[in-house]
Amino acid sequence: MDVIFGRNKKEHPEPVKAKVTGKIPTWLRGTLLRNGPGMHTVGETRYNHWFDGLALLHSFTIRDGEVYYRSKYLRSDTYKANIEANRIVVSEFGTMVYSDPRKNIFTRAFSYLSHIIPDFTDNCLINIMKCGEEFYAITETNYIRKINPQTLETLEKVDYRKCVGINVATSHPHYDSAGNVLNIGTSIMDKGKTKYVIFKIPATVPDRTKGKSPLQHMEVLCSLTSRSLLSPSYYHSFGVTENYIIFLEQPYRIDILKMATAYIQGVNWASCLTFHKQDKTYIHIIDQRTGKPVPTKFYTDPMVVFHHVNAYEEDGGLLFDVIAYEDNSLYDYFYLANLKQDIKGRSGNNPVPALKRFAVPLRTDQNAEVGSNLVQLASTTAKALKEKDDQVYCQPELLFKGLELPQINYAHNGKPYRYVFAVDVHTSSSPTKILKYDLLTKSILQWEEDYCWLSESLFVPTPGATDEDDGIILSVIISSEPQKPPFLLILDARSFTELARAYIDADVHPDLHGLFVPDVD
């Protein structure tokens, strides 16, 4: 694994032509944009966690059966400060540092306690977000960075705090049919309250404000007060349907007081997140039409969810599918000391997630008996059990174990759907198999390659397709054997047969998330 995760990657700002084997569909034209950590040491200093590394953008441009690759480090303020100092000077998730080692602990304590919430990093390494015609590298802090999708050049920095007043936000926004962006962030201790803020970024701006970015027209759709002022929930994604937003307030929580004294204690941000295994996971359903939550109080067992898969409405109920863990141990797996273990030596010690389906009734019978199941849907065994205190306990249906990084045909986002494209993490959180899971038949198709790391499997539909799985799958494959070059894999999404490989003679890095931008004729 040291070949894949243990060294810094070189950037390739000029296009590198790939060697294509097989045949790429002629209709596949566009650019796959990906984001992830690429630099883990600066000078003599080293990051502790894979999620800390400096963001390295890369792209695969596909036209007329050819593929061109390029990569470039995000020139964030964090990157510039680290490179100029030739050491890590900005703290990240798993690595705490002091920006000026000449200051003594008393000076650091005084300057830090002058504000409770620190000024987080702008090392935007998790995903790419499209806002109208603009593209942004994003992470989970209040900062996002505009990029040029053709050259991967870093452009201006945007601070969410100046737009919607939030300190953190998810790196998995949603897009509605008009292209508007929906996302959730947390406003910490603002006017005596800690709130979860759901906001919208329009795809277009009014004619009278042409020339301005859609980000200058953000609007708050609604906000929910956190159950705790000083320990709001951590979350990585959320779900949407045509009319509703699903937000899980889970017992994996941020300790604000510990965060406020992290520098003094010499602990990292990761240690400020705690899983409270005795607490509930609260399910908030927000009506997009009114901006108000459904009044029924839904909850389920304690769990940690990083990725929602999809959600949709059916016969007066709402179904949503998530990848759920029993605790927060997944993050520990990605400390670089753990990732250095050879992939051949992994023996199933990784946390194994479960694909779970939840069902909640959108209208509840006040006269229903305590203990009765309020879900009346033939399509699922998930239950919603009425309790004495007017709360409803949601018992999920277990669909499948051992898949992660779920992707769907996004045309079915918020709608009934059948297929999940994901990676297999049964025996290792570093996947070597791509799966196609059929929710109707409970069957799977798979593609695999030994001793490698592969990215999430992104679905691209065939133009004019009517079938949900009519399209192709794109995934970046990096071998743990140095002599084998990395390649872009192209699969037929329906049959899961391999169509082509585009071998890249470049230093390709393992990434996290991204999107495909089709060419516009």
Q: Please check whether residue 83 is in contact with residue 224, taking contact to mean a CB–CB distance below 8 angstroms.
A: no
Q: Please check whether residue 491 is in contact with residue 16, taking contact to mean a CB–CB distance below 8 angstroms.
A: no
Residue 180 is encoded by which pair of tokens?
């508007």
Q: Please check whether residue 296 is in contact with residue 226, taking contact to mean a CB–CB distance below 8 angstroms.
A: no
509 is in an annotated binding site: no
308 is in an annotated binding site: no
Residue 447's φ and ψ, nearest 5 degrees, are -125, 140
174 is in an annotated binding site: no
Q: What is the CA radius of gyration of the chain?
A: 23
DSSP code of residue 373: B
What's the CA gap between 141 and 91, in Å, rounded? 12
Q: Which of 398, 397, 396, 387 is nearest to 364 (CA)?
A: 387
SS3 451: coil
DSSP assignment of 148-203 equals -TTT--EEEEEEGGGTT--SEE-S--EE-TT--EEEEEEEEEETTEEEEEEEEE-S
307 is in an annotated binding site: yes
The alpha carbon of residue 172 and the mean position of all alpha carbons in its chain are separated, in whole angstroms, by 5
What's the CA gap between 4 and 110, in Å, rounded? 41
Q: Please check whether residue 187 is in contact with residue 194, taking contact to mean a CB–CB distance below 8 angstroms.
A: yes
Identify the burial level of 241 via C-beta atoms within 10 angstroms of its C-beta, where 0-12 means exposed, 13-18 middle and 19 or more buried. Answer: buried
What's the CA gap between 295 and 188, in Å, rounded? 24
The alpha carbon of residue 99 and the mean position of all alpha carbons in its chain are separated, in whole angstroms, by 28
Task: Indicate the annotated binding residues for Fe cation.
Answer: 172, 236, 307, 513
Task: Indicate the annotated binding residues.
Answer: 172, 236, 307, 513
